[in-house]
Amino acid sequence: MGAYLFEIMNISFFSLIAITLISGSICALTVWKFQLLQGTLYKRSGDSEAVQASHVAPAPRLAGVAFLAALLAAHALIFDAYQHLFVSLSLAVFPVFLAGLLEDFGYPLRPRSRLLATIVSSALMIWITGYWVSSIGVAAFDTVLRFAIVGMFITVLVASSVTQAFNLIDGLNGFAGSVAFCTALGLFFIASAANEPVLAAISLTTCAALLGFLILNYPSGRIFLGDAGAYTVGFILAWIAILLVARTDQAIAFALFLVFFWPLADLHLAVYRRWRRNRPISHPDRLHFHQLVMRALELALFSRARRRLSNPIATAVMMPFVIVPIITGVLLWDKPALSALALFGFSVLFVGTYMLGISLASRRFFSNAAIVNALRLRLFPTETQDDAKLTPGRVS
């Protein structure tokens, strides 16, 4: 596989090392100069006290700068022969990167403004490249997707969803970066099998850039992707998948959804949870799957005071469950029926495991009835407080 890419794309192992070093060096410089940044441009504060916080000490959320710089370096090192597609990605990602960067520096934008930035970036990508999803390998859907306006709308919706999804999982040390790394690796294998060396090379350089960031992100959590990093990573990975579907008849959308299974499943569950509680979709909470796993570890093995241990261990516990759907998607990349069946099965398992975890947490770990009642009312807002007090140990 390496020889194949070297021959087609002039990509080498040393180029990948250089990309990793560039990303890691910029991340290290950011961590080193973080106190200086806090006194000047960096206005963000209070992250460790936020309702969704999973870390105990302030850390820069600026790894997006390192990631984008490493990808631009990849352009100089590797992509001389295929500048159009890579330049298209670099230009199109800029609006969503800038929106995230402003947020990371402490100049907040409204959620609608950040969502608009992802839509603008996707619209730019469609306009520059001329690609959008017009077929997913299912006749009933393909008939509708052949209408350009429908295909473009679905393309923007998918790209925006994936972009936002990676931002939601950027909580635990190493989790978002590891999920993105494994996703990019899965896309690399599918692109290689589909004879798309350009997309395979972009996927592999994404892995290299993420690896430089992960060195400082896991297990210590010295730096995080932040909004700019999560948006940029999510956008690029989403468009690699969209281009795979648009440029080849072989890549099946269901298989690619398996590759992105965890961030998309977490996103959809979060949207449902907040809709059920009559909260804005952008309203943060502490009920993401990865946060529940970390809190369960604290209750069973550690305490909140030892979050420096429970945080990275939660990532290690979660990653096998993230990797299995990705491997399944790679193996079933050209098998529509089996990949659709696998997607349904993993979805049922995800929701079932989440609800089982909530139930076990309330029955086995929470001895304080007030905490149980608070958890019940978070998940089931239609139940009155008096009803919750009647059965403090039951979550139905």
* Cβ–Cβ < 8 Å for 180, 168: no
* 380 and 358 together in one domain: no
pLDDT of residue 154: 92
Residue 219, preceding peptide bond in cis (omega within 30° of 0): yes
For residues 181 and 37, membership in a common domain is answered with yes
Residues 376 and 289 in one domain: no
- Residue 117's pLDDT is what? 92
pLDDT at 295: 79
Residues 359 and 371 in one domain: no
Identify the pLDDT of residue 187.
95
- Amino acid 384: pLDDT: 43
Counting as low any pLDDT under 50, the low residues of the chain are 2, 8, 46, 48-53, 366-369, 372, 380, 383-396
Query: Do 100 and 116 reside in the same domain of the chain?
Result: yes
Q: What is the pLDDT of residue 46?
A: 47
Same domain as 374, residue 303: no
Is the Cβ–Cβ distance between 298 and 304 less than 8 Å? yes
The count of domains in the chain is 2
* 343 & 376 share domain: no
Same domain, yes or no, for 142 and 224? yes
119 and 23 in a single domain? The answer is yes
- Chain centroid to CA 396: 30
CA 88 to chain centre: 21
Phi, then psi, of 326 in degrees rounded to 5: -65, -45
Q: Which two tokens stand for residue 346?
A: 């993993």
102: its two tokens: 């402003």
Q: What pLDDT, in 10s, does the model give residues 163-212?
A: 999 998 887 898 999 999 999 999 999 998 988 888 888 898 899 999 99
C-alpha–C-alpha distance, residues 159 and 293, integer Å? 28
Both 385 and 263 in a single domain?
no
Domain hosting residue 380, numbered range: 367-396
Task: Answer yes or no: do 267 and 371 share one domain.
Answer: no
315 and 379 inside one domain? no
